[in-house]
A = this chain, B = another copy of it.
C-alpha cells in the first residue's frame, strides 16, 4: 500500500500547491515538500523533480509570483498566489474534489448516496 500512495496522483500536484498557498500567503519549494510530508504523516511525498517544474509552470501561467530571500546563508524562493492564482485555486480545487467524488462512486459502489 506504500508503493503507490507514496506518490502524487498525476495531475493533482498543481492543485496541491495552489491550495497550500491559499492558506499561507507564501511558501518556498522545500517547505512545500516538508508540509506535505507533515500533513500526511510521512505517507505521501512529492519529489523535487516534479515540484520545481510545476512551480515554474504556475509562475509562467501567471498564477504565482516569487520573491527571493536569503535565510541563514541559503537562498529561499518564496511563492505567493496572484489574483488570478486565487481564482484558479478555488476553481481547480472544486474540479479535483468533484472528480474525487466520482471516483469514490466508482470505487465504492455500495456506498450510501444521500439525495440532493
Contacts and interface: CB of A to CB of B under 8 A. Distances in A.
Nearest to A97: B107
A58 interface: no
Given A9-B11, A9-B12, A99-B9, A40 B1 contact: no
A74 interface: no
A39 B107 CA distance: 10
**Chain A contact patch, size range:** 35 or more
Copies in the complex: 2
Interface in A59-116: 91-100, 102-107, 109
Nearest to A103: B12
A1 B9 CA distance: 19
A15 interface: yes
A94 B36 CA distance: 20
Interface of A: 1, 3-5, 7, 9-12, 15-16, 19-20, 23, 36, 39-40, 43-44, 91-100, 102-107, 109
